[in-house]
Amino acid sequence: MTVMQDHPQTTVEGQKAEDLFPILFFEKAGMQCIKATTDQQKKHIDYLCGRFTFDVKSRKRKNRHDAQFCDNEMLLEISNVFGFNGWLYGEATHIAQETADSFLIFNRQDLVYHYEANEHLYPKHSRHEDCFVWVPFDHLKTIKFSILPKPQPQPMSNYTPQPNTFSLFANDKGDNSKRPDYRGDIILPDGTKMRLSAWVKEGQSGKKFLSGKVEPMNESRPANAFEPQAGDMPF
């Protein structure tokens, strides 16, 4: 079992994710999230929303000194630092896993079924006295889930897009080298806004250049590369 250390910003980042989730859920589903009581939080429940209960999980790093988040794998907590059941075996109906640009909402029991059926694939790790595994998101393709998008970064406050112009901004690639180095938008002559993605390439002469693609704004996807399935959320 590998022993790992927490990143010093883990608590702050976790609280930010917990604060953001109920705002986005209300905007998307029109349902008010009620903060769980202390007793409910001990059962790994952060929010109650109608018939749903959620445990919100922030983005994670593989180890304490990593600068980048691990956005291509999901951490499943088997037992906590006190030796009790981890959140995988908590009482929340759903897990809201934060990624770079969305929350992926899984039915917790579906994650339990997947882990127990494939336990042999995932080495166990520990930071203190807890036990957890890393599961590649690609392994969760067959599990139904819902996507709750996070707000997209806004252009500079003093920049107003005009027709026949475009803007590009440095993109947080996380630990996925295939993500674009830059993202932005372009305004066509008719006012239509399209999404730009650009990668830094190197030509045969050694000179660097940008290579990219243009897509309709409504075809953007969360950073996770696997196909979304029909989840049981009201959106």
| 170 vs 166: CA distance, rounded Å | 14
- Close Cβ partners of 30 (under 8 Å, ≥ 6 residues apart): 234
Backbone angles phi, psi at 23, to 5 degrees: -65, -50
For residue 105, the surrounding DSSP H or E stretch is strand 102-107
User: In tens digits, what is the pLDDT along the chain, a chain of 235 residues?
Assistant: 444 445 456 678 889 999 999 999 988 888 899 999 999 999 999 999 989 999 999 999 888 778 889 989 999 999 998 889 999 999 999 999 999 889 999 999 999 999 999 999 999 998 778 899 999 999 998 898 999 998 876 555 566 667 888 888 888 776 677 788 888 888 888 878 888 888 898 888 888 888 988 888 754 444 443 444 557 776 5
For the chain, the structural domain boundaries read: 2-149, 165-214
- Close Cβ partners of 83 (under 8 Å, ≥ 6 residues apart): 129
Q: Which class does domain 2-149 fall in?
A: alpha beta
User: What was the pLDDT predicted at 11?
Assistant: 73
Contact 2, 126 (CB under 8 A): yes
Contact 191, 163 (CB under 8 A): yes
Burial 63-94 (b: 16+ CB within 10 A, else e): eeeeeebbbbbbbbbbbbeeeeebbbbbebbb
User: What was the pLDDT predicted at 220?
Assistant: 43
User: What was the pLDDT predicted at 158?
Assistant: 61
